[in-house]
Amino acid sequence: MSTIAIASHKEMPKFLQEINAALTIAFREIINTIKSPEKIIPTIIMQFMFLVFMGGGISQNLGINMGFNFNEFMVVGMVINVLFMTTGQGITTLIEDRENDFTQEIFVSPVSRVSVIIGKTTGASVTAYIPFLATIIMGMFMGVSVGDGKLLTLLAISPFICIVGSSIGVLLLGFIQKSSTMGVITMMVSMIQMFLGGALFPINHSTGLISFFSHLMPMTYCLDFTRGIFYHGKPEYAQIVMYSPSFNLLIITAFTTLFFVVGTYFFVRSEKNK
């Protein structure tokens, strides 16, 4: 059965058509990831390399002097990083998908571009839980405890982080129209966010240009928000967390709203001009 036919039945109300189209796109994204594990395995391998080789080296040589469990700090950061990165990259593959017949059908069907983005965002968010859980397992092998409600805390925050990561993908989608360029830009943005945002090491005492650019990164506030909740009531809270969760939430909401509005606007406009 044609997925586009499902989304465009004449007898179906318009809003149901849009919901059906978004769910169809999301389901397709999930099925494609399951059928093509090579799309997600490199992300898991990269997480392993950063956690075990880079993070492990920092932990063994510098972490003992930090006054808190560095492995736990790092695993929490990389869990947020992988959600952020996977959803953002998942959204940007819409540019590549445009080259195949399925996406071409979507773009000529009576389905709004907003529904396309919502469907892609939903599908990318769900698939992000594969490397998310893989990172949690890596952390357990590194001696990081996920008991005492810690895993539930990360799970509760994770949908919100996926939405923020998706907003950056939508922003890039609005300005970049070539799949080859998109791949390079997305990877650069992901790496910059990870290092400047503080996924692997603390940035509390950063100064000068490093501090300036760190505070321009949405991931900085996502990481600080998550750690603010994760370390609430613990003695190391003051060493790790920079701002209150409410302040971080305000900044994150502003970033996310701006990126979704601007990205969606320019993406829809680019499609209309084709």
Residue 100 pLDDT more than 80? no
Q: What's the whole-number average pLDDT of the chain?
A: 83
Global pTM reads 0.85
CA distances from 35 to 44, 82, 107, 122, 273 (A): 16, 20, 24, 18, 34
Least confident of 17-31, 71-85, 87-101: 87-101
Looking from the CA of 155 toward its CB, the CA atoms found within 13 Å total 9
Res. 273 pLDDT band, cuts 50 70 90: low
User: What confidence score (pLDDT) does residue 17 get?
Assistant: 75
Residue 19 pLDDT more than 60? yes
Average pLDDT over residues 111-131: 86
User: What confidence score (pLDDT) does residue 180 get?
Assistant: 75
User: What confidence score (pLDDT) does residue 256 get?
Assistant: 94
Task: State the chain's maximal CA–CA distance in angstroms.
Answer: 67
Res. 129 pLDDT band, cuts 50 70 90: very high
Average pLDDT over residues 45-60: 82
Q: Is the pLDDT higher at 152 or at 273?
A: 152
Residue 51 pLDDT more than 90? no
Average pLDDT over residues 2-8: 44
User: What confidence score (pLDDT) does residue 164 get?
Assistant: 92
Tokens matching residue 46:
């990269």
Q: For the segment 198-255, what is each residue's pLDDT rounded down to a tens digit?
A: 998 888 888 899 999 999 999 999 999 999 998 888 888 988 999 999 999 999 999 9
Res. 4 pLDDT band, cuts 50 70 90: very low
The amino acid present at 251, given as its one-letter code, is I
